[in-house]
């Protein structure tokens, strides 16, 4: 049996590994940490093409992922389809709405739009709760004969020696691994609260003022921040206060949310997702730089990747 090594155990690494397994490939995941220690475990994880490029490829990957989630709704795995209000302007990428199933998206009525938003869509989209979905994917990977090794890889030369074919899904870690000057962090701080009777929504139209609410099965995630080139992983009270203020000022809640936890994560932002074989190490395929859309496009990238690797192995 052909074998491939995937570096990284976040949503992109796990989906890549599983799609390769479905092609009959023996897969080993090598990562400095398990899935529950990755940035993927910290996010709201709703389907929304946020800060991911190039647009055309991202939209296609997102559509493939949407279909994958439709087939993967299982009790207890954290996947559900929920209504989601998303703000847009004339400058927004709204092409993704054309790729959704008929009847799953429409323009919101003025009465349905949160205060401070002029125009919005209401769509039915996948929500994949990381605390449930990531362990489900990891167990699925192991059940198919997958092997996990906790190991830190410090260079592409070291990575290329792991196997005849390597898939690099290291997210922001690729900045050091690949000396990638295009890759940089987009700092996100969120507040996990007790469940609230308010609609799930997002407004990403104002750069530096990202705001969203995601209602999940047992809690509510309120965000956020989108500070570029910010490596700060400390919880900032000023950001938490700002996040809560937006919710109250926007009229989405009349009372202050009951905070369970404050979380910070660094999204791997790039001018475009790096999805290609390395020129200097031709047995290494790069799949990283998905910005704030790892859960949105990860399955789509994995599906395309598996076809590329199957052809390569032939």
User: What is the pLDDT, as a whole number, of residue 60?
Assistant: 93
**Over the range 191-209, which residues count as b (16 or more CB within 10 Å of their CB) and which as e?**
bbbeebebbbbbbbbeeee
Q: How far apart are CA 40 and CA 293, in angstroms?
A: 10
Q: How far apart are CA 183 and CA 231, in angstroms?
A: 12
User: What is the pLDDT, as a whole number, of residue 92?
Assistant: 86
Tens digits of residue pLDDT in 27-62: 999 999 999 999 999 998 999 887 788 988 999 999
Tens digits of residue pLDDT in 188-230: 999 999 998 888 998 888 877 788 999 999 999 998 899 999 9
Domain ranges of the chain: 3-313
Cα–Cα distances in angstroms (integers) from residue 15 to residues 12, 68, 297, 300, in the given order = 5, 11, 10, 9
The CATH code of domain 3-313 reads 3.40.50.720
Structure tokens at 101: 């199933």
The mean pLDDT of 89-98, rounded to a whole number, is 87
The mean pLDDT of 12-41, rounded to a whole number, is 97
User: What is the pLDDT, as a whole number, of residue 50?
Assistant: 76
Tens digits of residue pLDDT in 167-195: 999 999 999 999 999 999 999 999 999 99
Does 1 score more than 70 pLDDT? Answer: no
Residues whose CB falls within 8 Å of the CB of residue 22, separated by 6 or more in sequence, listed in order: 306
Does 313 score more than 70 pLDDT? Answer: yes
The mean pLDDT of 134-150, rounded to a whole number, is 98
Supply the mean pLDDT for the chain: 93
Q: How far apart are CA 121 and CA 180, in angstroms?
A: 36
């Amino acid at each position: 049996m052909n074998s491939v090594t995937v570096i990284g155990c976040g949503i992109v690494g796990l989906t890549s590994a599983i799609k390769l397994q479905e092609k009959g490939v023996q897969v080993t995941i090598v990562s400095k940490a398990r899935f529950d220690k990755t940035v993927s475990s910290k996010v709201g994880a709703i389907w929304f093409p946020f800060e991911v490029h190039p647009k055309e490829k991202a939209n296609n990957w997102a559509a493939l992922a949407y279909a994958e989630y439709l087939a993967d709704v299982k009790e207890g795995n954290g996947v559900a389809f929920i209504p989601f209000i998303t703000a847009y302007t004339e400058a927004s990428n709204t092409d993704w709405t054309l790729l959704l199933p008929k009847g799953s998206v429409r323009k919101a009525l003025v009465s349905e739009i949160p205060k401070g938003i002029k125009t919005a869509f209401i769509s039915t989209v996948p929500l994949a709760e990381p605390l449930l979905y990531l362990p489900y994917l990891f167990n699925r990977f192991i059940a198919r004969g997958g092997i996990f090794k906790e190991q830190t890889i410090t260079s592409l030369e070291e990575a290329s020696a792991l196997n005849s074919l390597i898939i690099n899904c290291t997210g922001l870690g690729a900045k050091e691994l690949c000396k990638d000057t295009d890759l940089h962090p987009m700092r996100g701080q969120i507040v996990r609260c007790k469940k609230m009777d308010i609609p799930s929504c997002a407004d990403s139209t104002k750069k530096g003022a990202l705001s969203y609410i995601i209602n999940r099965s047992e809690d509510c995630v309120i965000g956020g921040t989108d500070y570029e080139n910010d490596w700060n992983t400390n919880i900032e009270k000023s950001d938490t206060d700002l996040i809560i203020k937006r919710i109250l000022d926007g009229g989405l809640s009349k009372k202050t949310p009951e905070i369970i936890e404050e979380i910070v994560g660094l999204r791997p932002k790039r001018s475009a997702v790096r999805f290609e074989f390395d020129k200097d190490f031709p047995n290494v395929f790069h799949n990283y730089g998905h910005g704030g859309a790892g859960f949105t496009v990860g399955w789509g990238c994995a599906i395309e990747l598996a076809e590329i690797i199957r052809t390569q192995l032939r």
